[in-house]
Amino acid sequence: MGKERLVVIGGDAAGMSAASKVRREDPERQIIVFERGPHTSYSACGLPYYIAGMIKDSDDLVARTPEKFKEKYNIDARVGHEVLHIDPDAGKVRVVERESGREFDEGYDQLLIATGGVPICPDLPGSGAQAIFGLSTLQSGIRVRQFVDQVSPRRAVVVGGGYIGLEMAEALVRRGLEVSLVERAEQVMATLDPDMGSLVSDALREVGVTLYLEESLTGFEVADGRVKAVVTDKRTLPADMVILGMGVQPNSTLAENAGLKLGEKKAIQVDSRMRTSKAGIWAAGDCVESYHLLMQRPVHIALGTVANKQGTVAGINLAGGDATFPGVIGTAVSKICKYEVARTGLREADLKVMNMPYVEAVIKSRTRAGYYPGAGRITVKLMAHKEDGRLLGGQIVGLEGAAKRIDVLATAITAGLTAQHLVDLDLSYAPPFSPVWDPVQTAARQILNKL
Amino acid sequence: MGKERLVVIGGDAAGMSAASKVRREDPERQIIVFERGPHTSYSACGLPYYIAGMIKDSDDLVARTPEKFKEKYNIDARVGHEVLHIDPDAGKVRVVERESGREFDEGYDQLLIATGGVPICPDLPGSGAQAIFGLSTLQSGIRVRQFVDQVSPRRAVVVGGGYIGLEMAEALVRRGLEVSLVERAEQVMATLDPDMGSLVSDALREVGVTLYLEESLTGFEVADGRVKAVVTDKRTLPADMVILGMGVQPNSTLAENAGLKLGEKKAIQVDSRMRTSKAGIWAAGDCVESYHLLMQRPVHIALGTVANKQGTVAGINLAGGDATFPGVIGTAVSKICKYEVARTGLREADLKVMNMPYVEAVIKSRTRAGYYPGAGRITVKLMAHKEDGRLLGGQIVGLEGAAKRIDVLATAITAGLTAQHLVDLDLSYAPPFSPVWDPVQTAARQILNKL
């Protein structure tokens, strides 16, 4: 490979994982990364905790600075550089150095697009006002924290009850704000079935968040350029600040303009080796599609784990190796104050769409032996194929120690295990960790009674 | 089945799981349980926490009393009744009511032996003295707690560094005693490889336990019938009380005398449906062999989870159903003060005995994202087959939140997954729960580098 030049667009999880992997495999490769923001390799997932004040310094969220990439990895990571245009035929990108406004072309032998995602921001009356925040980059998180620190807002409205919305609701409660949350579905956490989502709604109310369910955002009231209220189809909610938690969409405009094929939700189409539809151009992270192993179709899932894995796979292949990213099953976990929430695989809603015959069980148990101090409630929902008992999905809501059990279900589902297999598994037990039958096994036993 | 009579010997986990399962499936069956102690269905695993004072009342460890079994389940659970002899040809057992000394015969159509295990107590000078305690039944735990409460001993010596020994060392430290621990191996926790066991040794020293490793018990010094010191091949350790934590052996004398085949460590031989070598006689729990799925041979493992599962399997079959207990892979977990320890599958020592080519990786990571409050150290050791990458064993030592990850490894190993499969798994991630790459996946990535 030698002196070939790799250009990477985007300096966060996927881009820098790939760049680092290429460097490790190929000391000679020229690697240039263009990042339009001021930071590289930071944990966007940590932003709610930074805004909550649980993490003091935004630098703590940065895994590696551009300087470190240059000095330690010989990767030319140029922050404040935005790629304006990709020219696949000429094999070059048009770049602007944002501070100076200077534009220049950079040629590449291989290109990796890792432009990430952007928060969905509906085009509604007032949506351009100040104090309406979406969360994506480290910079966007710093802006929110500065606003809370300096302006001392009293009332916040969070629009959208997904992971970011809920984690931000908690963060702002911790900062002493009155927090309301608007969600158009009947429950928060639409990635769970409504019966499990209702447990999360209860948890949010318990920590002091006022919920407005089955209400849709229609716009914002603005005064002096700053948001004053959130307007729904049912009411007007006064707000000193607004957090948009309506999801993330792939940042795929550059790719689209370069003629690359887009797919699900306008995410960039890639194969399992992270190649796009044009030779020499690769893509990874929140801007691409992922294959859902159970739905057997591409989906768009924006997650740090997936971005890291896809970046690593792209890096191995870019360095001449052979790696594949097999896909996802939609595993996710979140902590809302003392409550833990996790999910993997298919929901009942998915199974119905797929016309798959299934049985489900919902059980209540404890995170530890009932007599052991700190044993907390845990609810486990499990779905299995009605004919062969194959595990298809699981959801967990509970107190401390509950949620990471989802990984057992994710592993079992991926391996094609049945409810009987799960019951038979030799899982660990001691009173500080679990009842004798781990709650996921109790759920599986319940499934067996229904098969 | 109707009015057939099932007799169960032993009223703890295996026996009562079986009896309850039979009752659920067959309302007509006559079920008599003989338990020589005063309690049924208690958590022996909870005894160290009861002795430590973390659990107030011994009744909290009892899941169901004999009265409850009688009233709610119509199971005739007779405590204080010891079976003296089994007569397989006549289909009856000889029983003594311990309080009155009255003996009688009881006929059975089916017999389940669930006599459990007994602590290994070496026949050494002074071993019969007072204040030397083995831990098995609830009664034995109550005796230890009463001794600590009433005699206020100052110095305790624990002999044996397995799970019970370590949990008791912690319990007695919590009660304010000076605790020493004698272990003949080079490290405590012989179910781990020595490199991981040494982390546990360090943890014990940190909480104030004095370790005497590579020392063998040779006897006890006794005065006025009570133990005064523990004697090893290297020193004499003054002791006001002694805990024997040298393991558990199957309580199989009754079975042996009845002509049943015994196997590994004199545990009762059973097939996967929990049938013994004699028709009509079944056995389950700490008194039987279990099949080790990776060693592909029977082993003796005394564990509450296994006993519950085997009891349930026996119960289903006794009720005319068809269930099997496929086996174990040696999963276990324990908490020593703030440290968590877990293991599953094969150790390096096992792999060497089996002549299996393997690679291993030991990695250090964090239980949460590094910047998240409370992120603690975790060390993961992973073993995989050198040729096909199949996962073979794992060990974890770490702080809060570390150990339950062993269940992912247990699931992956049982399903036959490789290190690459583990890297590819869609495991859950959020900063309060894990780094972006879960520590078990970081270990698997390290394995890939070595394959």
B260 in Cβ contact with B268 (< 8 Å)? yes
- Which long-range contacts (C-beta less than 8 Å, at least 24 apart) are formed by A103-107? A106/A7, A106/A32, A106/A34, A107/A5
Mean confidence (pLDDT) of chain B? 96
- Which long-range contacts (C-beta less than 8 Å, at least 24 apart) are formed by B215-221? B215/B182, B215/B183, B215/B184, B216/B184, B217/B122, B217/B124, B217/B159, B217/B182, B217/B184, B217/B246, B218/B124, B218/B125, B219/B124, B219/B125, B219/B126, B219/B127, B220/B124, B220/B125, B220/B126, B220/B127, B220/B129, B220/B132, B221/B126
Residue of A383, A387, A270, A389 whose CA lies nearest to A329: A383
Q: Answer yes or no: do B408 and A406 touch at CB < 8 A.
A: no
For A371, the closest of B60, B332, B406 (CB atoms) is B60
B32 in Cβ contact with B7 (< 8 Å)? yes
Q: Answer yes or no: do A411 and B403 touch at CB < 8 A.
A: no
Q: Answer yes or no: do B308 and A436 touch at CB < 8 A.
A: yes
CA distance B237 to chain A (A): 30
CA dist A430 and B332 (Å) reads 8
B331 in Cβ contact with B406 (< 8 Å)? yes
Helix axes B406-414, A406-414, angle to 10 degrees: 20
**Chain A residue at shortest CA distance from B48:** A431
Write out chain B residues lying below 8 Å of A49, CB-based.
371-372, 431-432
Q: Answer yes or no: do B333 and A401 touch at CB < 8 A.
A: no
Write out chain B residues lying below 8 Å of A423, CB-based.
309
Q: Which residues of chain A have pLDDT under 70?
A: 1-2
CA dist B182 and A314 (Å) reads 53
Q: Answer yes or no: do A428 and B54 touch at CB < 8 A.
A: no
CA distance B104 to chain A (A): 35
DSSP state, residue A161:
-
What pLDDT sits at residue A1?
46
CA distance A373 to chain B (A): 7
Per-residue 3-state assignment (H helix, E strand, C coil) for chain B: CCCCEEEEECCCHHHHHHHHHHHHHCCCCEEEEEECCCCCCECHHHHHHHHCCCCCCHHHHECCCHHHHHHHHCCEEEECEEEEEEECCCCEEEEEECCCCCEEEEECCEEEECCCEEECCCCCCCCCCECEEECCCHHHHHHHHHHHHHHCCCEEEEECCCHHHHHHHHHHHHCCCEEEEEECCCCCCCCCCHHHHHHHHHHHHHCCCEEEECCCEEEEEEECCEEEEEEECCCEEECCEEEECCCEEECCHHHHHCCCCECHHHCECCCCCCECCCCCEEECCCCECEEECCCCEEECCCCHHHHHHHHHHHHHHHCCCCCCCCCECCCEEEEECCEEEEEEECCHHHHHHCCCCEEEEEEEEECCCCCCCCCCEEEEEEEEECCCCEEEEEEEEECCCCHHHHHHHHHHHHCCCEHHHHHHCCCCCCCCCCCCCCHHHHHHHHHHHHC
Q: Which domains does chain B have, with CATH numbers?
A: 5-41+57-117+249-318 (3.50.50.60), 121-246 (3.50.50.60), 338-450 (3.30.390.30)
What pLDDT sits at residue A3?
79
Catalytic residues of B: 45
| φ, ψ (nearest 5 deg) of residue A181 | -130, 130
CA dist A100 and A235 (Å) reads 46
Find the mean pLDDT for residues B173-192: 96
The amino acid at B32: I
CA distance A257 to chain B (A): 32
3-state secondary structure of A112: strand
CA distance B43 to chain A (A): 9
For A183-205, the pLDDT digits (tens) are 999 999 999 999 999 999 999 99
Best of A344, A372, A407 to mutate (most B CBs within 10 Å, chain B): A407
Percent of chain B surpassing pLDDT 70? 100
B406 in Cβ contact with B396 (< 8 Å)? yes
CA dist A28 and A22 (Å) reads 10
* Prediction ipTM score: 0.96
Is residue A45 annotated as part of the catalytic site, yes or no? yes
CA dist B438 and B418 (Å) reads 16
Tokens linked to A325? 């990213």
Write out chain B residues lying below 8 Å of A371, CB-based.
43, 46, 49, 55, 60-61
For A436, the closest of B304, B334, B421 (CB atoms) is B304
Write out chain A residues lying below 8 Å of B46, CB-based.
369, 371-372, 431
For B375-394, the pLDDT digits (tens) are 999 999 999 999 999 999 99
Write out chain B residues lying below 8 Å of A431, CB-based.
43, 45-46, 49
For B6-48, the pLDDT digits (tens) are 999 999 999 999 999 999 999 999 999 999 999 999 999 999 9
Tell me the CA distances in angstroms from A347 to A299, A366, A381, B52, B310, one per residue in order.
15, 23, 10, 43, 32
Number of C-beta neighbours around residue B129 at 10 A: 17
Tell me the CA distances in angstroms from A322 to A20, A314, A318, one per residue in order.
16, 9, 9
CA dist A436 and B285 (Å) reads 13
Q: Answer yes or no: do B416 and A416 touch at CB < 8 A.
A: no
Write out chain A residues lying below 8 Å of B334, CB-based.
430
Three-point CA angle B335, B338, B344, nearest 5°: 35
What pLDDT sits at residue B1?
45
Q: Count chain A–chain B contacts defined by CB atoms under 8 A.
A: 192
CA distance B426 to chain A (A): 6
Best of B407, B409, B440 to mutate (most A CBs within 10 Å, chain A): B407
3-state secondary structure of A329: coil
Write out chain B residues lying below 8 Å of A329, CB-based.
426
Best of B293, B428, B445 to mutate (most A CBs within 10 Å, chain A): B428
For B329, the closest of A331, A404, A426 (CB atoms) is A426
What pLDDT sits at residue B264?
87
